[in-house]
Structure 1
Amino acid sequence: MPREPELSLNERSFVLQALQENIRIDGRSFDAFRGLELNFGDEYGVADVKLGKTRVIARISAEVTRPFPDRLFDGIFTITTELSPIASPAFEVGRQTDQEVILSRILEKAIRRSSALDTESLCIIAGQKCWNIRADVHLLDYDGGLTDASCIAVIAALQHFRRPDVSVEGENVTIHAMEERVPVPLSLLHHPICVTFSFFLGGGIVLVDATLQEEMLRNGELTIALNRHGEICQIAKLGGVAVEALTFLNCTNIALVKAQEISRFISKKLEEDLKEKNPSRLLVELSAENER
């Protein structure tokens, strides 16, 4: 089964010795993220995220479909992931690795199950028609921090996406073209952000946003998903190393600060993208949203 090339004994000793001396190979502090870049595509709902050398693209699509029989008043929201060999030799086409399964479950719990997207707002006609929103996550380059980068990409893409406006007369549904009516943003109740912590040397050293080299040496990991209001959406503890209560509390405090910083960063990028692509549309969308 394909996998990442293992580190040599010299590399392992060098990285661990540096950590014991409170030094990371790339010069960051233990609680610092790598450089974060966020760009949006020409169409609505495409977010390109670069976290260090890790690059993830999320794309949101929408189609009208029939709701689930047990959720007649809700729309449908799904998240799919694709880890291709273009990003790393550890991934294969058509075969899910354990890492891809874990990533899918974390994103599912952190974003969909936490009701970040208001699925009731996707209902068009109860029991008959609703919007099916799909988020596709594609990994283009891999150097650690996959969960955090993927979560940022999905949340940014959801905020950037606009669906066509719909009018209903009786049982007749009309989907208006983007040029005909101002497209409608999705109703997001909150914006969860994942922050992953890696534990080394029996849990004595904790790092934020580990690189691939660091991930290959860690004893365990902890992913905390929370929004800017401090509401914890999910906690995923992986690996066998135990985490003390005080260390865990410190991780949640750090995660809150990082989530708030990233949320502000995404909001800033959204405003810049809106002004750059169509300065006049900002006022149009705001007024249209107020009318609704």
Structure 2
Amino acid sequence: MPREAEISVNEREFILKALQESVRLDGRALDAFRPLELTFGDEYGVADVKLGRTRVIARISCEVTAPLPERKFDGIFQIITEFSPMASPAFEVGRPTDAEIILSRILEKAIRRSNALDTESLCIIAGSKCFALRADVHIVDHDGGLIDASCIAVMAALQHFRRPDVLVEGEKATILSVREREPIPLSILHQPLCVTFSYFEDGERFLVDANMAEEQVRQAEVIITMNRHGEVCQIAKYGGATVDPLALLNCNTIALQKVKELSKFIQQKLEEDVKKKDKGGLMAELSAENAR
């Protein structure tokens, strides 16, 4: 099975020695993220995230289907991850790695199980028709920090997406086109984001947003998912190093600050995209048609 290209013993020792002196190879502070870029596609629901050299593209799509028999009043929402072989030599189509399994599990708990999306709002006719939403997460470049970048991409894409409006007459539902009626944004209940802490020196030292080289020499990782209101959605730990409870509380404080900054950044990019799309006035044209 293909493996990630491992760093040499000298590189490993150099990184660990630098971290003992609170120095990172790229000059960042221990609690600093790499430069973050977020762009949206021409169509609704496509978010392209670049975190340093890591790149993730999330795409939201929807279709009308029958709801699950046990959840007649809810729509369907699922997250699918796809690791491209061009992102890393360790990724192979059809053979999920541990990284892919962990990423899928974390995103599932962070976004779907925390009810970030109001699935009841996706119901069209109870027990008969609903919207089935699908978030496809494509890993294009891998240089560490996949979980944080993927969570940002999915949440940004969900907030950017617009579903078609529906006209319901009894048991008949008519899906209206964009020209007939302005599409509707999704009902987002809260905006969970992930912050990953990597631990070194038997849990004595940690840093935020490790790159690929730092991930290869860390002893453990703690993923904290919370929203900007400080509500913790999940805490996941992988690796053998023990983590002091007080250090974990400190991580929660740092995570809250980072999540607030990221939420503000995403909101700013969404507002910029709305202004860009409205320039020239398709939305104005649709509003005028609706008014008539």
Instruction: Please say whether Structure 1 and Structure 2 have the same fold, judged by a TM-score greater than 0.5.
Output: yes
2:149 aligned partner: 149
Q: Is the 8 A contact 1:275 1:282 kept in 2?
A: no
2:211 aligned partner: 211
Residue 202 of structure 1 aligns to a residue whose secondary structure is coil
Q: Deviations over 1:104-158 (max 9, x none)?
A: 0000000000000000000000000000000000000000000000000000000
1:87 aligned partner: 87
Q: 1:286 to 1:49 in 2, by over 3 A?
A: farther
CA RMSD, Structure 1 to Structure 2 (Å): 1.7
Distance 2:62 2:39 in 1: 21
1:265 aligned partner: 265
Q: 1:170 to 1:123 in 2, by over 3 A?
A: same
Aligned length: 289
2:110 aligned partner: 110
Q: Deviations over 1:199-255 (max 9, x none)?
A: 011111101000000000000000000000000111111111111011000000000
For 1:1-292, what aligned pairs fall within 5 Å after superposition? 1-279=1-279, 280=281
Residue 203 of structure 1 aligns to a residue whose secondary structure is coil
Distance 1:210 1:283 in 2: 44
Distance 1:71 1:217 in 2: 45
Which amino acid in the other structure matches residue 228 of structure 1? R
Q: 1:52 to 1:185 in 2, by over 3 A?
A: same
Residue 159 of structure 2 aligns to a residue whose secondary structure is helix
Q: 1:285 to 1:260 in 2, by over 3 A?
A: farther
Q: Deviations over 1:37-83 (max 9, x none)?
A: 00000000000000000000000000000000000000000000001
1:290 aligned partner: none
Q: Deviations over 1:16-47 (max 9, x none)?
A: 11001110000000000000000000000000
TM-score by length of 2: 0.96
Q: Deviations over 1:168-201 (max 9, x none)?
A: 0001101000111000000000000000000011
Q: Is the 8 A contact 1:274 1:282 kept in 2?
A: no
5+ residue gaps in structure 1? 288-292
5+ residue gaps in structure 2? none
Q: Is the 8 A contact 2:181 2:286 kept in 1?
A: no
Residue 202 of structure 2 aligns to a residue whose secondary structure is helix
TM-score by length of 1: 0.96
| Identical pairs, percent | 67
Distance 1:211 1:59 in 2: 24
Distance 2:207 2:286 in 1: 41
